Amino acid sequence: MIGTYELYFDRVISFGVAFGILMSSQLIGFGWAGLLQPVMIYPSRTVFPEVLPSVSLLTSLFKVGSESEDQVRFFKKAFVAVSIYEIFPTYITPAFQAINIFCLTLPKNQLVTTIFGGARPFEGMGLFSISADWSMVGGRGPLYLPLSTQIHQLVALVVSTLAFFLVYSKSWFGAGLTQNFPFMSASLLTADGKTYPYRQAVNADGTANEEFIQRTGLPFFTATFYVSQILATKSTNSEEIDPHRLVCLKYKNFPLWGFATITLVAIGLTFGISSLSNSGISFVGLLVALIASFLMTLAVGFINAMTGFTIRFAGGIQMLGGILFPGNVFGNMWFTIYGASSALQGINILKDAKYGQYIHLPQNLVVYSQLIGCTIGSLSTLLVVKPILRNQREVLLSPNGNGVFSGAEFAAFQARSVRLVI
């Protein structure tokens, strides 16, 4: 939200307010995660497959014996090799991120790019591409996700690919090939596929310019963008107690009333910042966002704990904000931050808590380290993002980025915020 404000609406959020937004949204998720630990962390059925590789690594590093020594030596060699290797696909030769033999051999035309291109955001589907970037190869967790989850992901990939081509070629939603729309884009477009003048459609206070919208018409997404949002959105007894939890019982727990206090303080900070910064969202709007974030933390967190699969629900939360509070772009952004981002932070905190339980760390030390991490992380994020927004503005506003920086997420967030409220 902070980057979208500055890039697309020329509204610079002060460092103090930005820090307050980051801290309050994270602490709300932190509080939800803490209150849900008895049902999300303590049972043995909530595995959180994503944390298992790190647990295995620490076990190997600190286990005593010749086998552990061999594993540590191998890890050191692999760590150095990967650190050096990743410099090439990330900075020196970004083309290594996606190599496609069809793009290299077939004549250059839009159809080939649409099907096989994909090295840059929104370039194409990237079918049958080979990636030399391990961060992309391992991004879906092939080494730790359950086989059933990976099969479901593969089926979803095939179905979504076919759906993309179908809705674009048939021009469903009135935003496809017939209307000269691009195949993939997160930008707002006019009825003939040109860039929509969103600045004129939004007043300075973030409300919709009804006169301009009636004269120009509503903005459009590409047909494939509609489909991507739909697919992303769809997609304890004593004997059930995790044995690692039983080991941790000898340590001092962080009390539930402590998590409740953190949650209440964070909620108070949220309403205070919202009032002082003219956010455009009402008291009721923020309250609904907080309720939604708790429900998403519980539901999506449980699915992630059992299967390792994370549902992308931010678009659904943003749509809910557009329905409940129409004509308010900035209010919709705030609703999304505290409805979706807080829930995502809560799920990440749950993973960390399970990780600490797996390696038998005292719960209070895990909590303190997470609080310190939230604070340092918020400061570091602002210190890094602010200069990037100033110095790489044109790159972030470009459709495809430059291989190192991309504003695709900013563009998608801005486009949804505008389109869903007008």
Question: Are 422 and 328 in contact, with CB atoms under 8 Å apart?
Answer: no
Tokens read off for 139? 């991004």
Percent of the chain with pLDDT over 90: 16
Choose between 417 and 266: higher pLDDT.
Answer: 266
Rounded-to-integer distance, Cα 291 and Cα 279, Å: 19
Strand partners, 195: 189
Alpha helix segments (H runs only) across 196-282: 198-201, 210-216, 223-234, 243-248, 256-276
Mean pLDDT of all residues in 41-52 = 86
Token pair 């006169």 is found at: 211
The reported pLDDT for the residue numbered 239 is: 42
Once rounded to an integer, what is the mean pLDDT over residues 204-224?
Answer: 70
Q: Which of 377, 309, 304, 292 is nearest to 343 (CA)?
A: 292
Among 121, 127, 135, 132, which residue's Cα sits nearest to residue 103? Answer: 127
- The string of pLDDT tens digits covering residues 149-163 is 778 778 877 887 787
Residue 218 and residue 201: Cα distance in Å, rounded? 9
Written in H, E and C, the secondary structure of 153-178 is HHHHHHHHHHHHHHHHHCCHHHCCCC
Q: 109 CB contacts (<8 Å, ≥6 apart)?
A: none
Q: Which residue has the higher pLDDT, 363 or 61?
A: 363
Residue 122 pLDDT class (50, 70, 90 cuts):
low
In this prediction, residue 176 carries a pLDDT of: 64
Determine the pLDDT at residue 135: 66
CA atoms within 13 A on the CB side of 185: 23
Question: Does residue 364 register a pLDDT over 60?
Answer: yes
Residue 361: predicted pLDDT = 87
Instruction: Check: CB of residue 348 under 8 Å from CB of residue 367.
Output: no
**Cβ-based neighbours of 299, under 8 Å, separated by 6 or more:** none
Read off the tokens for 395: 């790159």
Q: What whole-number distance in Å separates Cα of residue 419 and Cα of residue 261?
A: 37
Least confident residue range of 40-49, 79-88, 173-182, 306-315: 173-182
| Integer-rounded Cα radius of gyration of the chain | 23
Any long-range contacts for 103-107 (C-beta under 8 Å, 24+ apart)?
A: none
Instruction: Rank 28-42, 96-110, 143-157, 230-244 by mean pLDDT and report only the highest.
Output: 28-42
Whether pTM exceeds 0.75: no
The model's pLDDT over 254-294, given as tens digits with 9 standing for 90+, comes to 888 999 999 999 999 999 998 888 777 888 889 999 999 99
Per-residue tokens: 304: 């992630």
Residue 249, pLDDT > 50, answer yes
What pLDDT band is residue 238 in, cutting at 50, 70 and 90?
very low
* C-alpha to C-alpha distances, 346 to 30, 31, 268, nearest whole angstrom: 5, 8, 18
Q: Does the pLDDT at position 224 exceed 60?
A: no
Mean pLDDT of 188-200: 70
Query: What is the CA 389 to chain-centroid distance, rounded?
Result: 19
Structure-model confidence comparison of residues 92 and 21, the more confident one: 21
Per-residue pLDDT at 221: 64
Q: pLDDT: is 400 or 394 the higher one?
A: 394
- Residues 73-88: what's their mean pLDDT? 84
Query: For the chain, what is the mean pLDDT?
Result: 79
Mean pLDDT (whole number) for 68-72: 80
Query: What is the spatial distance between Cα 394 and Cα 396, in angstroms, rounded to a whole number?
Result: 5
Report the range of poorest mean pLDDT among 73-82, 193-202, 354-363. Answer: 193-202
Is 58 a residue whose pLDDT tops 70? Answer: yes
Residue 154, both tokens: 């593969």
For residue 105, the number of C-alpha atoms closer than 13 Å in the C-beta half-sphere is 4
Measured CA to CA, the distance from residue 337 to residue 327 in angstroms comes to 18
